[in-house]
Chain A
Amino acid sequence: AQKVTQAQTEISVVEKEDVTLDCVYETRDTTYYLFWYKQPPSGELVFLIRRNSFDEQNEISGRYSWNFQKSTSSFNFTITASQVVDSAVYFCALSESPLYSGGGADGLTFGKGTHLIIQP
């Protein structure tokens, strides 16, 4: 079963529009972490946010905001007043404790990503 689902493969909006990227996750762990990364065309993954499972407060950082809802296992990411430089692939990722990730592994489980295109 897919542990991190990003159902939107590609989103295209016009500059200055708001856009929300969806992320739904699945885990039996009670202590876990969720992440968002940005991957621009250059290929390097850029860290955006880390949120632990006990902190359901929404977070805002400039034009970026995140909505974490444990009840629906979702961790959605909104960009307000989008800009062309926001064009990239965005990944949501889950970190479970090794007991639940299997085999003692401490690796991140990524979704398939959402390709965001901001048109001028």
Chain B
Amino acid sequence: DTGVSQDPRHKITKRGQNVTFRCDPISEHNRLYWYRQTLGQGPEFLTYFQNEAQLEKSRLLSDRFSAERPKGSFSTLEIQRTEQGDSAMYLCASSLRMQETQYFGPGTRLLVL
């Protein structure tokens, strides 16, 4: 399977805990994006990378959210001190170039108790 993969698919955590999600993009894609989707809404853009450079992070929801892509391949999204409002689906996508089609992974569904 050469599509975008995400791990884990589901995560249940207690409020105040840190969580980290992983995304593996399509291998030749150098752009990688993170989105959050809450119930009944469309995905909301959070941040993106071109290779290992994070080109936009002002859309991250708070300073508890951070993302990395250390070698320009997989990426991680970390949420520190989780809150119940962080419960959502976190989606990763990748593309070849700017404004090209973004292909999405299956998402990580987070539930904060």
Chain A residues within 8 Å of B, Cβ to Cβ: 4, 33, 35, 37, 42-47, 50, 91, 93, 95, 97-98, 103-113
- Supposing A43-B106, A45-B91 touch, asked if A105 and B45 sit within 8 A by C-beta, the answer is yes
Name the interface size band of chain B. Answer: 20 to 34
Closest to B97 in A: A106
Cross-chain contact of B48 among A46, A107, A113 (Cβ < 8 A): A107
- Supposing A33-B99, A97-B99 touch, asked if A106 and B48 sit within 8 A by C-beta, the answer is yes
Give the distance to chain A from B79, nearest Cβ to Cβ, in Å: 18
Q: Does B31 contact A (CB under 8 A)?
A: yes
Cross-chain contact of A110 among B42, B59, B106 (Cβ < 8 A): B42
Q: How many A-B residue pairs have CB under 8 A?
A: 71
Contact B105 A107 (CB under 8 A): no
Contact B89 A91 (CB under 8 A): no
Complex Cα distance A33/B101, Å?
9
Give the distance to chain A from B23, nearest Cβ to Cβ, in Å: 13
Complex Cα distance A50/B102, Å?
10
- Supposing A111-B42, A112-B40, A112-B42 touch, asked if A105 and B59 sit within 8 A by C-beta, the answer is yes
Taking CB atoms, residues of chain A closer than 8 Å to B91 are 45
Cross-chain contact of B109 among A33, A43, A50 (Cβ < 8 A): A43
Closest to B33 in A: A107
